[in-house]
Structure 1
């Protein structure tokens, strides 16, 4: 009978083989996988990878693997990243915009002022980057100031896709180190870092496509570590920086406030937002870039971009205000959850409680927004490594399915991700309620 370490090694070998097999499907020179059939096969391999990953997570969470398994976990994580790093990005073209924005800033131009196809930027066009920029003829950059500062810094060192990918992998590495420190501080097995480090969606989103979400994850990991060590001002500044890379991390702020003060992290966060935005304020309202138009492009204004409303639209016509009503209800519901998390009386947050609250807030907000791009979800694996729950772990990995869109609609195919997530969340709630009832004093109502 195989030992737990041998089983983990077997799962590691399968994950490596599936990753290399997925890489082999790319047609050399193609800016996508190559053909729709190859893309479908790749997503099939990624789905199997998620299954292997979930088995590995289960094995680690059982606590039966020895301490030396950490070396296997870290070694495989590094191997997978090194395998994906040299490959050209073929599941997303966003990284070309990152490199372009860095080149624009290197020329002394505010990146929010012009679309890439504007004649004012004609002298910056090159055959390696410019032809592959998405929305080049109608969309100003959508990326926020903290991301822009990173693009500018990387661009001064290496104005290349590989250089940008390496920078994002560095941020990913920071996240792994922070998870290890958080696990150690909480007295948890360090092999649990596998929950983040082996996550297939993390690997393909960051190591292959170099998404800027890796920068947000690295900053959020540092913020969680700072808050767990009761450095509230630093935590507030780091969380603000993460939110100025991608907006979503701001939703975990209530977890940082629980059991702590408000003034110091709020002041540090506000100061960070101002300082990081200063280099770009000359653009005025254009500093929002393509962000205001993005919601309409994604169908959020009509409601058809939301999973529940897309399903409802199959049954009845949606009113014109459906998207706004959904957004209002989601905002009110999230506000109630945020208030509950921030005000619960349970003492100052340790690492596990902090990450459990952060994971809950992050998962609820991400699921409510339900973006159909896969790389919006891997950040959920970060708090799940310290405070794992099945629903959050599932939601951090299963969106590998979103790398294709076979039905070109927002309900049936996404339902393969969100349906199980809802079931797992309801099961978690039922178990939590049963535990609370079992711990309640006799005679309590």
Structure 2
């Protein structure tokens, strides 16, 4: 019998697996055994075999009423949990407690995460034919929950609106800070409220005694060129009188679009159920939609880039450059995009398009701007303690075991090591696995204090399925919100996230390589 062609299984017999037969005594040969079963060679004079009658095993394989009720019940349970999650998110977004009640807001956020976990767990039992509808319907509902109120825990979207307005007037956003009197003609009562309202905690003071919704109004913008182009597009498409709703609507559209791209990728290379890790995540409703962070556009482009890298390195590299030109954070995905690369040509086919797109997008702003297009980037790094560990809350885990002066070198060494490991040992068919490892490690080493940075990590979890890394996203939320009520909460949660990642890795390793006394799992 010839072996089957690659990619095909051996042809089965009508009622079982075809196996070699053994010769009888009259044939003068010892019994031969090939495959799992040996059987006597049939006698040509024997009557033909009749098909076996349906037995209990065949009847049990058919879906029964009880099984149908159970799968229907799983679908109903998942829908009910999604309804509860959406309701909790609406109540959380309505609660304006960032300044007045950070502890209460943290508890509400924790409840949303608990419902999110329960809903995703319930989805595992839902029948496959219901998964797409549940994931998309839930994703739309979760995104819509972020639209019910103005931005609650961040004022970044007001800077987006201002930068879009400045560009619409033909002025480079890198040339003037919002407080610059040269731009007074562009101000309105929405972004620059009357002085009688300036005692509110969410407003920033101006040198002339006024105030603005824009944070850090005396510094130039920090956002890269593709992000600035996004701000200009939203400004140009917004009807007169529309304020924060424009960027929130854009965030909702981008969040759902990301879910659709994830669904397309995972139908081919994973489990579509994992899309729920992104689509239903509370961070998406709060940070991508309600706070309208431009990170969601960078996340969408990053997912597209990693998916394209598998078969089209140059195109994937170009899209990764576009993602980095939206927010700089996707640059950390580069080692993942290079997973398993050995030839210099493959390195170049990814790196050169990425760098080319980045330079091409920066060039017009360089030519049109009188000031540096890096804006407040250096000042931000210093303000957040990335340059001097002793001046901020960065590198919190490393500083528990190392002197402050060693933290930054340790981060650099750690990231170089993990990048080389991902490039050397990564799976080129699943570059998001290495990207998740690299990005998650960067978060654990630097312990950023802004929860919306973790949107990229959430999307990578959806692609790869290692959900224990979501603990890092929860830690980011604790560092940004809960630490206002409980100092040190961010460090504690990042430590807990590190433990969760280690436990998850150990569990997956044990399942993949059971001990000698363990029973092997049956093969489907």
TM-score, with structure 1 as normaliser: 0.86
Counterpart for residue 246 of structure 1: 327
Q: Is the Cα–Cα contact under 8 Å of residues 132 and 272 in structure 2 kept in the other structure?
A: yes
After TM superposition, give the deviation of residue 237 of structure 1 in Å.
0.8
After TM superposition, give the deviation of residue 167 of structure 1 in Å.
2.0
Cα gap change, 1:342/1:35 in structure 2, threshold over 3 Å: closer, same or farther?
closer
| Structure exhibiting the larger radius of gyration computed from Cα positions | 2
Counterpart for residue 392 of structure 1: 469
After TM superposition, give the deviation of residue 35 of structure 1 in Å.
5.3
Counterpart for residue 257 of structure 2: 174
Structure 2: stretches of 5+ with no match in the other structure: 1-68, 193-211, 517-524
Bigger shift: residues 140-149 or 83-92: 83-92
SS in structure 1 of the partner of residue 326 of structure 2: coil
Aligned residues: 417
In the alignment, structure 1 residue 76 sits paired with structure 2 residue 161:
no
Q: Is the Cα–Cα contact under 8 Å of residues 315 and 353 in structure 2 kept in the other structure?
A: yes
In the alignment, structure 1 residue 405 sits paired with structure 2 residue 475:
no
Residue-by-residue CA offset, 1:151-175 (whole Å, 9 max, x unaligned): 1122112273211222232222221
After TM superposition, give the deviation of residue 224 of structure 1 in Å.
1.8
SS in structure 1 of the partner of residue 477 of structure 2: helix
In the alignment, structure 1 residue 145 sits paired with structure 2 residue 228:
no
After TM superposition, give the deviation of residue 22 of structure 1 in Å.
1.5
Counterpart for residue 94 of structure 1: 156
CA RMSD in angstroms comes to: 2.6
- The 5 Å alignment of 1:98-177 reads 98-130=160-192, 131-136=212-217, 138-158=218-238, 160-177=243-260
Match among 361, 367, 391 for residue 276 of structure 1: 361
Residue-by-residue CA offset, 1:226-277 (whole Å, 9 max, x unaligned): 123x111111011111112222211111111123511122121111011111
Aligned counterparts of 2:138 and 2:312: Cα–Cα separation in 1: 33
Residue-by-residue CA offset, 1:24-76 (whole Å, 9 max, x unaligned): 323xxxxxx47512x4322211111111112223334x455442132122112
In the alignment, structure 1 residue 289 sits paired with structure 2 residue 375:
yes
Counterpart for residue 30 of structure 1: none
Aligned counterparts of 1:67 and 1:395: Cα–Cα separation in 2: 32
Residue-by-residue CA offset, 1:80-101 (whole Å, 9 max, x unaligned): 2223225211211000000000
- The 5 Å alignment of 1:36-75 reads 36-37=100-101, 39-60=102-123, 62=124, 64-75=126-137
After TM superposition, give the deviation of residue 366 of structure 1 in Å.
2.1
Q: Is the Cα–Cα contact under 8 Å of residues 84 and 115 in structure 2 kept in the other structure?
A: yes
Match among 213, 222, 225 for residue 295 of structure 2: 213
Counterpart for residue 192 of structure 1: 274
Aligned counterparts of 1:255 and 1:312: Cα–Cα separation in 2: 27
Runs (4+) of structure 1 moved beyond 6 Å? none
Cα gap change, 1:70/1:397 in structure 2, threshold over 3 Å: closer, same or farther?
farther
Q: Which structure's relative contact order is higher, taking Cα pairs within 8 Å and 6+ residues apart?
A: 1
Structure 1: stretches of 5+ with no match in the other structure: 27-32, 441-445
Aligned counterparts of 1:67 and 1:362: Cα–Cα separation in 2: 33
- The 5 Å alignment of 1:234-383 reads 234-260=315-341, 261-282=346-367, 283=369, 286-304=372-390, 305-306=392-393, 309=396, 312=399, 322-323=404-405, 325-344=406-425, 349-350=428-429, 353-383=430-460
Counterpart for residue 285 of structure 2: 203
Counterpart for residue 29 of structure 1: none
Aligned counterparts of 1:132 and 1:424: Cα–Cα separation in 2: 38
Cα gap change, 1:345/1:94 in structure 2, threshold over 3 Å: closer, same or farther?
closer
Bigger shift: residues 94-103 or 285-294: 285-294
TM-score, with structure 2 as normaliser: 0.74
- The 5 Å alignment of 1:422-433 reads 422-431=498-507
Q: Is the Cα–Cα contact under 8 Å of residues 248 and 366 in structure 1 kept in the other structure?
A: no
